[in-house]
Amino acid sequence: MRGVTVEVSARKFSIPFECPCCGAEPDSEITLSAGRTRGLVFPYCARCVAHVIAWESAGVPSAATMLLGIIAAIVVGLAAGPLFGALVVAVTIPIVLAIARAMRKRAGARCAQACAGPGRALAYLGWDGNASRFQFESPTYTARFAEQNDKRLVNVTTALRKLVDHYRIARLQVPTPVVAVSAVGTPLSPDAWIERLAASGTVARRHAFLRAMEAIHDPAARARIVAAGANLEAAKVLERAEGLPGAEGRLLFEQALVDVRLDNLPDDLEEAVVRLFEERLRST
């Protein structure tokens, strides 16, 4: 990846709610993992997820052809002599290269004009105990990510500083908001927010949660939204705990408690999920 590296000094950081590849409104998500670090979910648009999958699997047919070519070369080599085996390899290589090229071209053709590239537009380089490190293909997304996490940035490289400055200047000339503004409609009721949380994938749900917390001020309604969000975050673990014997159930909740603290959840949501798991741990 050619992108600029961005480091944030926290486990918690803000994720711009737009596709990191083409900038469109996200309707899908992508999970990034680095080594043993837990996967992080990022918003993505479905179209870009499709071209990433096509791009990442583009090497499979050519690798399979190469394997067949090698097997054929061994068989021919044993039957007719090593020179003929070498000839089979010599014929296979251009075919393999042509297949790889064609597959990559096909994946590339799925991209939109605005796409940062045919492959993954971002990489998570892991948490080293001090910072989470990322790389993004799109300069716009890099700048937005850096701006949204301004206070948490560490080891800012000259390249990143330059990029953010350019972006800021460009924004002064053509005013665009730091955060993409979604269409403003009638304000949602707490129940409508809860419905929206339930209907979304992980990234969209967390984004909706933050927006609900900005929009709803009544403490009781906020508590209800937090509780609903926590139940949704915890749902997978609770489902897995069903029917597990006591000791295994406790192990599951202990691990879930570690995971939720490492996850990129809004603070109030994290606290609620922790309370939920702790209660279950006590009663298991």
Q: Which stretch binds Zn ion (CB under 5 A): 20-28, 78-86, 229-237, 276-284?
A: 20-28
Stretch that binds Zn ion, among 7-15, 69-77, 111-119, 173-181 (CB under 5 A): 111-119
If the CB atoms of residues 85 and 117 are measured against Zn ion, the closer one turns out to be: 117
| 54 touching Zn ion, by CB under 5 A | no
Mark the segment that binds Zn ion (CB under 5 A) among 11-19, 169-177, 232-240, 261-269: 11-19
Task: Using CB atoms within 10 Å of the CB of residue 164, give its burial: 0 to 12 exposed, 13 to 18 middle, 19+ buried.
Answer: buried
The piece of 88-96, 113-121, 249-257, 268-276 that touches Zn ion (CB under 5 A) is 113-121
Supply the minimum distance, in Å, between the C-beta of residue 53 and Zn ion: 11
By beta-carbon proximity to Zn ion, the closer residue of 71 and 109 is 109
Kindly write out the interface string for residues 115-134 of this chain, putting x where it contacts Zn ion by CB under 5 A and - elsewhere: x-------------------
Nearer to Zn ion, 45 or 194 (CB): 45
- DSSP class per residue in 164-226: HHHHHHHHHHS---SSPPPPP-SPPPHHHHHHHHHHS-HHHHHHHHHHHHHH---HHHHHHHH
- φ/ψ of 136, rounded to 5, equals -125, 145
Q: Which is nearer to Zn ion, 121 or 232 (CB)?
A: 121
- Residue 13's CB: how many other CB atoms inside 10 A? 17
Residue in 4, 22, 58, 66 binding Zn ion, rule: CB under 5 A: 22
Q: How far apart are CA 262 and CA 13, in angstroms?
A: 12
Shorter beta-carbon distance to Zn ion: residue 48 or 58: 48
45 versus 160: smaller Cβ distance to Zn ion:
45
Distance (Å, whole) CA 52 – CA 113 = 15
| Binding residue count for Zn ion, defined by CB under 5 A | 7
Is-contact 212 34, C-beta < 8 A? Answer: no
CB atoms within 10 A of CB 263: 19
- List of residues contacting Zn ion (CB under 5 A): 19, 21-22, 24, 45, 48, 115
